[in-house]
Structure 1
């Protein structure tokens, strides 16, 4: 009788605090002390706060120790920390990664409309980065968004691209949908 090994477990931690350096250092050091490995992370600043997302793997005892230490850590350093157990993502060998780039005059509805477009077309969001800023020449509020998506197998790419460009034109967005390419480091 063959026994398949259990799927690797990980812990996804989201934390917010006022000092990005302290936040990252503290959580990474705590993970190491609990014999856990940080396999992915994202840190960004939002106003006076910074947000850190970590995916951490390790043995069941290390993950349990890390989970148990987070409430005390949050209280001691005045952080907001949440953690959830997660299995590895299911492989999607036939899915295609694409990136949508959007620039426009800022309106509060744009980001929600973009997310709804992809949801309506059964396209999964993988990563979303959106920033607003003032144009140096005019002072107008502008928005730049970069959305990484995964197209399901069988998607007619030219049709989806046409739909996206029609959608963007109707909302007066400057938009582009192209295949994802690794960044040269």
Structure 2
């Protein structure tokens, strides 16, 4: 993302709908029609619904116009929307991005336990993806989680890795934590 203009403001739109292509197309087109730019987005499917999160930038009047038109748009297309003003992404100097991968037999408390581990170690959560599935041959319910975190400057990485692996062993999780790397096709 390029440096933001001092007058640029931000809006965070969270939308739920049954048709991911319509949801994405309608909201992106509406942003463009209101002279706003989509600067980040995430779309995921959850059962019969899709969840779309957009961070949109623009001048205060463009965002106000967009914000004012969204309720009618949501009603017309059968979306559920939540909208809030936000700030630009803050860059944290000297922070280290890491990714934790976890696989385990599914238990409802696993995500909470993982989040609590990172909270207890003053580590910020950047992204979390979690899926459950039935294991082949045994039909056991399994969980796969990928958690991107930001380590504070000065974190003793070998100590943290040992702590995380001990934590995972205590909960019988197959886990790994490693430096974040850009994904290339």
1:34 paired with 2:34, answer yes
2:178 corresponding residue in structure 1:
178
Please say if residues 7 and 87 of structure 1, whose CA atoms lie closer than 8 Å, have aligned partners that are also in contact. no
State how far apart, in whole Å, the 2-side matches of 1:90 and 1:27 are: 25
Q: Identify the residue that residue 166 of structure 1 maps to in structure 2.
A: 166
Asked if the contact 1:96/1:151 (under 8 Å) is kept, the reply is: yes
Q: Which runs of 5+ in 1 are unaligned?
A: none
RMSD of aligned C-alpha atoms?
A: 1.1
Q: Residue 121 of structure 1 corresponds to which residue in structure 2? A: 121
Task: Could you tell me which runs of 5 or more consecutive residues in structure 2 were left unpaired when the two chains were aligned.
Answer: none
Question: How many corresponding residue pairs?
Answer: 181
After alignment, is 81-90 or 43-52 more displaced?
Answer: 81-90
TM-score (norm 2): 0.95
Kept in 2, the 8 Å contact 1:132–1:143? The answer is yes
- Residues 7, 88 of structure 1: 8 Å contact kept: no
> TM-score when scaled to structure 1?
0.95
4+ long deviations beyond 6 Å: none
Asked whether the equivalents of residues 8 and 60 of structure 2 are also in contact (C-alpha less than 8 Å), the reply is no
